[in-house]
Amino acid sequence: MSTTPVSPTGKSPYPSSVLAGPSKVPSTNPHLVTWVNEMAALCKPDRVVWVDGSEEEKKRLTDEAVAQGTLLPLNQEKLPGCYLHRSNPNDVARVEQLTFICTPTADEAGPTNNWMAPKDAYEKLGKLFDGSMRGRTMYVVPYIMGPAGSPMAKVGVELTDSIYVVLNMRIMARMGNIALKQLGESNDFNRGLHSTLDCNPERRFICHFPQDNTIWSVGSGYGGNVLLGKKCLALRVGSYLGRKEGWLAEHMLILGVESPEGEMTYVAAAFPSACGKTNFAMMIPPARFKGWKIYTVGDDIAWMKVGEDGRLRAVNPEFGYFGVAPGTNLKSNPNAMRTIARDTIYTNVALTSDGDVWWEGKDGDIPNELTDWQGRPWTRKGSTEKAAHPNSRFTAPMTNNPALSRFAEDPEGVPISAIIFGGRRANTVPLVIQAFSWTHGVFFGSALGSETTAAAAGKTGIVRRDPFAMLPFCGYNMADYFAHWLEMQAFITNPPKIFMVNWFRQDKNGNFLWPGFGENMRVLKWIVDRARLRVGGQETPFGWVPRAGDLDLSGLAISHEQVDAATEIDLDEWKAELESHGDFFKKFGERLPHVLELQREMFLARIETLKKRKWGAHQLD
């Protein structure tokens, strides 16, 4: 870690001729040093610290964070290397309404993004950054998204006044001198500037400048808004770079399925929030699947590029997991519980009297007394509010995951055989369905949606469209994003098969028809077998579904009638679904790829024909 003071005038202390030396600036890259100088002159910190990513530095920064009260040590016998952070109560989640894509024109950002002209954004945020770090330290955080040395990897540098951000970035990315080495003298790096300022929501903005490969975030300390390598670079800017350079940056997990014979198949899957994404990425197969293994490559983001073999290959750009704590337990995700048992930073969870952490849905009895996520006394009988914030988080190294794939750091990426889209739907969408083609699969992704729960505006069953699970994360016009997906087929000689799943289908009484969790392995096996062309399926008007007997139900307390209900195709429901797609597509006007509207119209016409012939689910037998 290199520390250099900043002059009282706020002007950069680094003469352009002084570029090297570990006691000064640990980089000879003139583009990087010049930019850091300019931002230091703008923000006027008391000192500038270049982080190196060493273990010694981690201990020093952690001790400093504890002394400041930013981190609270937990019970080191129960949770070695773990700490608790409490954020400002007004700063506990991503702020989509304050997140902007700053392109030259509004059309380039599209109707699903908030837009601000780059000139206006730089001016507005520049006034907020002016002097924002006076009395503080500016940390220079070089980092790599993607395996070091990978042709898919990207270098970013985040300047921040938050020691919490530095310690989290150490977990979430490959941080420090390793990034400076990979960058070398290149000017190709993402420029990220962050200041917590005063955490005033009225002065909070997250702005992305795709053409400049730049991110400015001000007024927040929450991870999703300030760990700039994650959603900001890996998805919003990454998706723009992917379109420009011919690859895909996706909100997808990556997992490997190994058969008892040692055959490995890789799958990428996109799920909107509250649909079991992390649980699926770390799934443990049920006892019936003895000898089968699931390996996690990534739990949240996938960068995919066509390899020399003509297959779509994927890397996880991240180095850790930034997961939601509530609902995580030994039943829903035992591998996650083992992952977060050490060297983890918890944010906004509750604290037990003996220095352990707790959240709603954690294993064991609910404690009678806790300290809640805001540091207030909480009692089981007397408190009406939740002890842990519903969006409380853990940040844990991926190397803690007992199911981590040995190919998680493969610089060439793993070959993807299947892509899965999944939402939370009580009806309409069957347990699993395979697209007829790549174009049909893109249509699946473009119309992906999940139903709201009781916690959302007091209404249930309202479908919120979240195409490709990328609605909050696409860094340009989503109609162009659909077109990019369609165009990618021309470069993939052996494209992955595309599927849609729905673990949440319900019967007429509101009971789930499928048990979910580890039992999803039964559906995953059918997907793998379909991708490898060794199992049949039943053709329906909207895709292929498993035939009776295709899903292995042995040892599962579920009737064939339940499975039939979970895979049923109801024409009236699908008609309503396709009409809803049409309403969503209208947002994009003429920019929407015409082939997607043709797909929708074709399926509507097919429904009308089948209804005249009185087609029904019984004809799937």
**pLDDT band at 1, cuts 50/70/90?**
low
- Tens-digit pLDDT profile for residues 405-421: 999 999 999 999 999 99
Confirm or deny that 224 is annotated as ligand binding.
Answer: yes
Nearest residue to 57 via CA among 178, 217, 156: 178
Beta strand pairing call for 312-315 and 302-306: antiparallel
Whether residue 568 is annotated as binding a ligand: the answer is no
Q: Is the pLDDT of residue 16 over 80?
A: no
Percent of the chain with pLDDT over 70: 93
Q: Are 300 and 318 in contact (CB under 8 A)?
A: yes
Sign of CA dihedral 552, 558, 562, 567: negative
User: Percent of the chain at pLDDT above 90?
Assistant: 87
What's the mean pLDDT when you consider all of the chain? 93
Burial 3-27 (b: 16+ CB within 10 A, else e): ebebeeebebbbeeeebeeeebbbb
Could you tell me the domains of the chain? 2-50+95-245 (3.40.449.10), 250-316+408-620 (3.90.228.20), 321-400 (2.170.8.10)
Please report the pLDDT score of residue 560 as a whole number.
81
User: For residue 151, is pLDDT > 60?
Assistant: yes
230 is in an annotated binding site: no
In this prediction, residue 548 carries a pLDDT of 80
Q: How many CA atoms lie within 13 A of 293 on its CB side?
A: 15
Q: What is the pTM of this model?
A: 0.94
Q: Which of 191-205, 210-224, 388-402, 559-573 has the lowest mean pLDDT?
A: 559-573
Q: What is the mean pLDDT of residues 296-321?
A: 97
Residues with Cβ within 8 Å of residue 330, at least 6 apart in sequence: 337, 363
Instruction: Confirm whether residue 391 is marked as ligand binding.
Output: yes
Residue 199 annotated in active site: no
Task: Write out pLDDT tens, residues 509-518.
Answer: 999 999 999 9
251 is in an annotated binding site: yes
CA dist 443 and 603 (Å) reads: 11
Q: Catalytic pick from 102, 207, 275, 474?
A: 275
